[in-house]
Structure 1
Amino acid sequence: MKLVSSLLLAGALSLAATPVVTAQHNSSSPYHTRFAVDAPVILGLGAVNAFGLYRVQQKNGLNEAELAALNRNDVPKFDRFVAGNYSEKAQTASDIFCYGSLAAAPGLLALNPDIRGKYGQVMVLYLETMATSSAIFTSTVGNVYRYRPFLYGSEGTDRERSSKISTNSFFAGHTAHTATATFFAAKVFHDFNPNSPAQPYVWGAAAVVPAVVAYYRMEAGKHFLSDNLVGYAVGATVGVLVPQLHKTTSGRGLSVTPLQGVNVNGYSYGGLRLTKQL
């Protein structure tokens, strides 16, 4: 499962990167970026990240009495099956999948000829997308105390159990950042190659890889199920939404059409319909 799942995104994007012989590569980009807009946004997100990390450093870990008072029965039922889990091997596996995907997603996009011609712009979008996800994550863990699942068991070193990092269970950062990277890669590939037959494989791989990370984070006792569900949702949303907000006007334009008819009470009506293409 480890080997197959970790290669899903790589295989799908590699397949997607193979050009069709008769295709004409698109020299234009579906995105619009401006230094005057995106640079301040990225700097602002960096500041939010820095403040979030500062807030994390101000947190306090649990003392021995507080650790002894933890009761797995206080954990919501849908999360309770994770309480007490601990595995260093699972933690290592989650690190490999997460950090590997952060590098593999943009790297594999460079293999696609259409994307490679606008790779500088894509990397700016990738930086902005990851910074957005990270800003949401650090702002959350810096202000929310939720104890990691392994604290409800007896395993883990004394340093781990008393660390302030052990209060950072909500939400799952590894899962969120992995989902951000994989869904960003799938979204960008989709926008540059809307008619590619590889679309189902790319999106499928994008969905599976962060799910694998979530599984290992639970096995490692680092996050509960709900932490991972929120992290997955945040990452996938940001990974798709940030590129979408940069789509060119032709993809985001408003259209106005006249509207008239008769309602259920028999009265006629007229007006205008505004349509915005996403």
Structure 2
Amino acid sequence: MPAYQEVQPYEWYQVFDLPAPELYTIDRGAIENWNPEIAKNSDYVLGGLMLLPFASLASQEVQEQAGTYLFMYGEVLVSTGLITAAIKGWTERARPYVYNNTVPLEERISQSSMRSFVSGHTALAFGAASFMSTTYMDLHPDDPFRWVVLAGTFGAAGLVGYMRVESGQHFPTDVIAGAAIGTAIGWAIPALHREARYRGIRWNAGWNQFRLVWDF
């Protein structure tokens, strides 16, 4: 299956006669949500969170392996984006606002209206949070502020998820699934690199080169 595929939204005349969807109890209230301003602000929070790992480049420990650090972060973002895009195309779940008659028609029949599951914003937010907290703890295992980094990054990621629900863009289950995917990828990528180093596999990444070495 391609990572991204076109999903056909409802026709304009169909949205007025949509049957009530079968939803989990936790999802039912999301249909009433609609706030484009919160949706826009969630973009800003996500953008800030995705830039936050670059602040670690000020650390001497990160500067000594900046190429690998940036390469890993790139892997996290690309993997998260591809996986969430594939799931969205496969599930074709309508967003909450599709069932909300107070929402403008053009929104309810837009191309993105059928890409609710999973929340890409939340997955990327938790991917960035998980990556930064994991690498920070690896590089600063004795820093008493490492828990502040963990709480702060995951708190910001949680805010993104909350805003996606409140804005009417996603159901809570979309956000929960996105958070799980992002957290897993953000932790797994550094863990795989750590395991590779343990087995004698080393890779060095730079702006214009990539080298893989296996020490026997």
Supply the AA of the counterpart residue of 1:247.
R
Partner in structure 1 of residue 135 of structure 2: 188
Q: In structure 1, list runs of 5 or more residues that go unmatched.
A: 1-47, 254-278
Q: Does 1:158 align with 2:109?
A: no
Q: Deviations for 1:84-136, whole angstroms, at most 9, x for unmatched residues?
A: 311011101111111221112x2211122211221111001111111111111
Shift of 1:144: 1.1
- Unpaired runs of 5+ in structure 2? 201-216
Is this contact kept in 1: 2:12–2:105, CA < 8 A?
A: no
8 Å Cα contact 1:101/1:181 also seen in 2: yes
AA in 1 matched with 2:3: G
State the match for 2:3 in structure 1.
Answer: 52
Relative to the length of structure 1, the TM-score reads: 0.68
The Cα offsets for residues 175-206 of structure 1, whole Å up to 9 and x where unpaired, read as 00011011101111111111111111111112
Cα pair 1:172 1:223 within 8 Å, conserved: yes
Which residue type is aligned with residue 83 of structure 2?
A: I
2:81 corresponds in structure 1 to 134
Report the Cα distance in structure 2 between the residues aligned to 1:189 and 1:233, rounded to whole angstroms. 20
Q: Is the 8 A contact 1:84 1:151 kept in 2?
A: no
Out of 182, 185, 190, the position equivalent to 1:243 is 190
Residue in 2 that maps onto 1:93:
41
Instruction: Give distance in 2, aligned partners of 1:140 and 1:249.
Output: 29
**Which residue does the alignment assign to 1:77?**
25
Cα distance in 2 for residues equivalent to 1:251 and 1:208 = 32
Question: What's 1:204 paired with?
Answer: 151
Amino acid paired to 1:139: A
2:205 is matched with which residue?
A: none
Please give the TM-score of this superposition, normalised by the length of structure 2. Answer: 0.86
Using the alignment, how far apart are the partners of 1:163 and 1:186 within structure 2? Answer: 36
User: How many pairs align?
Assistant: 200
Match of 1:274 in 2: none
Give the match for residue 169 of structure 2: 222
- How far apart are residue 158 of structure 1 and its match? 2.4
Q: Distance in 1 between matches of 2:80 and 2:113?
A: 21
Q: For 2:198 and 2:138, locate their aligned partners in 1 and report how far apart those are by CA, in whole Å.
A: 10
> Are 1:115 and 2:62 counterparts?
yes
Structure 1 or 2, whichever has the larger Rg, is 1
